[in-house]
Amino acid sequence: MNRRQFLKNGLRGTAAYALLPATLLGAHSAMAGMGNGKGNSRKGNSSDPVTEEEIEYLMYMREEEKLARDVYLTMYAKWNTHVFSNIADSEELHTLAVKSKIDKYGLEDPVNNDDVGIFVNEKLAKLYNTLVDQGNKSEMDALWVGAAIEEIDMIDLQEAIDAADHPDIARTYQHLMDGSKNHLRAFVSVIETQGMDYSAQYLDQHAVDAILNG
């Protein structure tokens, strides 16, 4: 099967595909290459209060990383494909890494219920259900959903890095970025093992090629 055949019933053209960029912070740059940020000078330090923009990204990234974890846990329960279980464990560490910054700066954690599929952000709650519905169609659908999540996560993380005045917050996001690159490689490896070529869904194709060849 080639990608064109798969996409007749795959993520593109579905509610999930339309909903992803419409609900994530990085929507307007979804087709841009990675590493084209504004070059924030990182003037803050740990004794300075976080900015409103930093708070917005911390709140969002906390739940976005949880969304990735929850989708992967659900897909593992459905398909018993170990890549989902492995990456879900990593996403748990990611969402806790963001929580550590929320706690450090005395902010209120938006995750007051850590159960799978529960979100304060209503758009993320809707997105979780849409992605799960898509991933439940087939194991291959689920793998493409996973890869899409990682691509868009990287877009949002780059914007969060660019918005961060505090170096420790930017470093945390960069660590998560490195993890998302590894996750995308893992999903693509399984997709290609099953006989399908992978091409970019949200990132620029050159950016995806650089990540996969990294």
Residue boundaries of the structural domains of the chain: 52-213
pLDDT in tens, 6-55: 443 444 444 444 555 444 444 444 434 465 444 455 566 667 889 999 99
Distances (CA, A) of 131 to 148, 161, 198: 10, 26, 19
How many helices, marked H, and strands, marked E, lie in the chain? 8, 0
What pLDDT, on a 0 to 100 scale, did the predictor assign at position 8?
Answer: 36
pLDDT in tens, 111-124: 999 999 999 999 99
What pLDDT, on a 0 to 100 scale, did the predictor assign at position 22?
Answer: 46
Phi (first) and psi of residue 101, to 5 degrees:
-75, -35
> For a pLDDT cut of 70, what percent of the chain falls above it?
78
What does R_g of the chain's alpha carbons equal in angstroms? Answer: 17
What pLDDT, on a 0 to 100 scale, did the predictor assign at position 48?
Answer: 84
Fold (CATH) for 52-213: Ferritin (1.20.1260)
Q: Which of 139, 149, 129 is CA-nearest to residue 20? A: 149
pLDDT grade, residue 153 (50/70/90)? very high
pLDDT in tens, 55-87: 999 999 999 999 999 999 999 999 999 999 999
Burial zone of 129 (CB within 10 Å; 0-12 exposed, 13-18 middle, 19+ buried): middle
Q: Which residues are CB-contacts of 46 (< 8 A; sequence separation ≥ 6)?
A: 104, 166, 168
**Which conformational region is residue 4 in: left (phi greater than 0), alpha (psi within -120 to 50 degrees), or beta?**
alpha
pLDDT in tens, 131-148: 999 999 999 999 999 999
| Helix residue ranges per DSSP H, 32-138 | 52-79, 82-104, 122-135
Q: Is the per-residue pLDDT at 203 higher than 50?
A: yes
Q: Which of 5, 25, 9, 3 is CA-nearest to residue 127? A: 25
pLDDT grade, residue 214 (50/70/90)? confident
Q: Which of 15, 23, 16, 29 is CA-nearest to residue 154? A: 29
Place of tokens 């949200």: 202
